[in-house]
Structure 1
Amino acid sequence: MSFSRVNYGQETNADDVAQFLHNEIVGKTIVITGVSPSTLGSEFALTVSAHSPKLVVIASRDTNKLNEVVKDINAKYPNVDVRTLQLDLASLEASRKAGQELASWEDVEVIDVLVNNAGIMAVPYKESVDGFEFQFATNHLGHFVFTKQLMPKIIAAAKAGREPRIVNVSSSGHRTHGMNWEDVGFHGGKTYNMWDAYGQSKTANILFSVELAEKYGSQGLYSYSLHPGMCIGSNLGKHIPMQEIQDFLQSDRAPEPDADSIFKNLQQGVSTHVVASFDPEIKGQNGEYLLDCKVGDDTRKKAYAMDKGNAKRLWELSEQLTGDKYD
């Protein structure tokens, strides 16, 4: 039986989706953050590299790990142009400079797909070099600043009729906690809970996509957020004992205890990345939140994460905190 959208689901493999959407990937320039060996980022990079993109740019803090992924891609797909970019999302200055560096590459005239894939989960309280709660700084503010620098090349793709996309990788963890509007820093850690802070940052990822679609949809930009699922081997949360994660998932604070009872492998985890990045079928649902290769129904997403008023409020707060204002 041939693969089609009717096969989209929790156990769908990214390779099958990419093969189905092959023509949408060919010739595209794709930027991916949070890439290191044996992660969602590297799995997505390898998956799309099988389908003749024009350029794949992989970004992460650790250049040695980036080079390992390049070696892997080159071994499997020697004709693919893959480049690395050092990106430390925990620093606004580093995020800004990384974006500016990529924006300065004269031979890269457009960016077709930006996947803000990097993220951390449920770390003990600490502050970034800029004084922000670390999960909010890394998962949202760093990407907000990085994305801003790339907007001219993304909008250039839109003007050329290439229908560019910005994909923000979120999580069902957004259901644990919305925006802590009175103090996104949890009062200097005094009211900090690592799962609440993670939930806030993942809510921010969704709201970022909502507002990107609202502000730039009329110019031909599409933006989506997604939940990849609970993935074995992704290295996310590797600092947390598995028993502690399982206890959380089985507690009354779990975001989706039934829906996330099945753990995915990396191929199953990045299948939704591929749909969000390339499937033309979802163009009419700009700004939406996806999971299991489909737009999530209302039972799988919190209304506060899709609220346009909240999205606008977060955008304005992010500009205020970072000092970076989008055109």
Structure 2
Amino acid sequence: MAPPANGSSISGHDLAATYADRIRGKIVLVTGTSQGSLGEEYCLAIAKFEPKLLILAGRSVDKLKYMAEAIGKIDSKVAIKPLELDLDSLSAVKKAAETVNSWADVPYIDVFCHNAAIMGTTHAITADGFERQLGVNYMATWVFTNTILPKILKSQDPRVVLLGSDGHRWGPIRWHDHNFKGGETYNRWHAYGQSKTAVHLYALYLGKLLGQRAQVFGLDPGVIITPLGGHVDWAGEFGDINRIDFELGNDEAVNGWPKYRSKEAGIATSIYASFDPDLSEHTGAYLADCQVANPYVHTVRPWASSEVEANKLWKWTEELTNMKFSF
């Protein structure tokens, strides 16, 4: 199946319809399903095509009820299972993952689509002492995904889909100072860039590690207005963002940002990564516009696509978290 020719504007709902037979009967775990989010839109798109089970993960199970009700209105036969997941604490993340592993009625997971993230926040640290954007967007992702991976690998067509961002262009991994000297040197966009760079490197490493045992993708959904950036004064922040783009030599400093796209278009690449039948040779790839990202067209910085950096990140993360995983 060829990638959609209009991958930057196609509706994820329309794309899901083309994969209806591949969605039917699947068990899908989705994080970041808050109201108005891409995770919510993703669930609404695939709920139309008879998935076997949707596991909805969020900080508050009570807040997941509206999502379950919305899915029920689309198809009351779709089974829903809520999961409490607090990404600010690695012990809580580990507990949530172990809960998933303990569910005897969920013997495998076909697709794990991880949308949950924070962006451009003021300086704070997680319960484990990590700068919060790095801790929530990457460290928690690494622990949760790795812990549930044995259950994902029991699927006949296992997929791990991790939402990254073209915002990775704002910063490589700060190996020498990932916590910004306790906030003294903190810049919210460098921090966000670092966290999303880490997500893309993790997807690259995990894809190479697993090979044909699973398909793993990091992706850029595009520039979409969602509650993720609702707290940001974009008019006030634009000058700093533009300065960073100039300093790092990013094309966006001159050419401007890509056009905004709708939430329907924003989930298209996630749908593509989750269900397209022709991606097995590209596991570990960075996807954009419903295709393997082209660095001549899409924002793909070397620091987010280097196998050397990806290998280094894995070992570095093992040391920082004092955790090791083998598959």
TM-score under structure 2 length normalisation: 0.93
Deviation at 1:324?
2.3
Query: Superposed, which structure 2 residues align to 1:263-274 within 5 Å?
Result: 263-274=260-271
Q: Which residue of 2 aligns with 1:322?
A: 321
Q: SS in structure 2 opposite 1:67?
A: helix
Tell me, yes or no, if the aligned pair for 1:172 and 1:256 is still in contact at 8 Å.
no
Please, which of 272, 277, 284 is the counterpart of residue 275 of structure 1?
Answer: 272
Deviation at 1:252?
5.8
**Distance in 1 between the 2:4 and 2:129 partners?**
47
Q: Which structure 2 segments of 5+ residues have no match?
A: none
Tell me, yes or no, if the aligned pair for 1:229 and 1:260 is still in contact at 8 Å.
no
Deviation at 1:62?
2.2
Please, which of 224, 227, 239 is the counterpart of residue 231 of structure 2?
Answer: 239
Deviation at 1:304?
1.6
The Cα offsets for residues 178-205 of structure 1, whole Å up to 9 and x where unpaired, read as: 1101121112112211000000000001
Tell me, yes or no, if the aligned pair for 1:211 and 1:315 is still in contact at 8 Å.
yes
Percent identity over the alignment? 34
Q: Residue 150 of structure 2 aligns to which amino acid in structure 1?
A: P
Query: Superposed, which structure 2 residues align to 1:180-191 within 5 Å?
Result: 180-191=174-185
Q: Which residue of 1 aligns with 2:160?
A: 166
Change (3 A) 1:281 1:245: farther
**Distance in 1 between the 2:242 and 2:317 partners?**
33
Change (3 A) 1:6 1:59: closer
Q: SS in structure 2 opposite 1:290?
A: strand
Please, which of 45, 48, 55 is the counterpart of residue 53 of structure 2?
Answer: 55
Q: Which residue of 2 aligns with 1:225?
A: 218
Q: Which residue of 2 aligns with 1:153?
A: 151
Q: Which residue of 2 aligns with 1:66?
A: 64
Q: Which residue of 2 aligns with 1:298?
A: 295
Tell me, yes or no, if the aligned pair for 2:34 and 2:40 is still in contact at 8 Å.
yes
The Cα offsets for residues 23-80 of structure 1, whole Å up to 9 and x where unpaired, read as: 2211111111111111101110111111111111111112222111111111111110
Q: SS in structure 1 opposite 2:259?
A: coil
1:208 lines up with 2:206 in the alignment? no
Query: Superposed, which structure 2 residues align to 1:69-88 within 5 Å?
Result: 69-88=67-86
The Cα offsets for residues 176-232 of structure 1, whole Å up to 9 and x where unpaired, read as: 1111011211121122110000000000010110011111114x1110011111112
Q: Which structure 1 segments of 5+ residues have no match?
A: none
Q: Residue 220 of structure 2 aligns to which amino acid in structure 1?
A: H
Tell me, yes or no, if the aligned pair for 2:89 and 2:126 is still in contact at 8 Å.
yes
Tell me, yes or no, if the aligned pair for 1:8 and 1:294 is still in contact at 8 Å.
no
**Distance in 2 between the 1:282 and 1:235 partners?**
31
Q: SS in structure 2 opposite 1:50?
A: helix
Displacement over 4 Å in runs of 4+ = 245-252
The Cα offsets for residues 236-290 of structure 1, whole Å up to 9 and x where unpaired, read as: 1111113235545655627663473311111111111101111122221111111
**Distance in 2 between the 1:22 and 1:108 partners?**
22
Q: Which residue of 1 aligns with 2:129?
A: 131
Aligned alpha-carbon RMSD (Å) = 1.8
TM-score under structure 1 length normalisation: 0.93
Q: SS in structure 2 opposite 1:84?
A: strand
**Distance in 2 between the 1:208 and 1:76 partners?**
34
Deviation at 1:11?
1.0
Tell me, yes or no, if the aligned pair for 1:22 and 1:51 is still in contact at 8 Å.
yes
Change (3 A) 1:256 1:118: farther
1:89 lines up with 2:81 in the alignment? no
1:121 lines up with 2:119 in the alignment? yes
Q: Which is further off, 135-144 or 303-312?
A: 303-312
Q: Residue 215 of structure 2 aligns to which amino acid in structure 1?
A: Y
**Distance in 2 between the 1:306 and 1:25 partners?**
29
Q: SS in structure 1 opposite 2:81?
A: strand
Deviation at 1:7?
3.2
Deviation at 1:8?
3.4
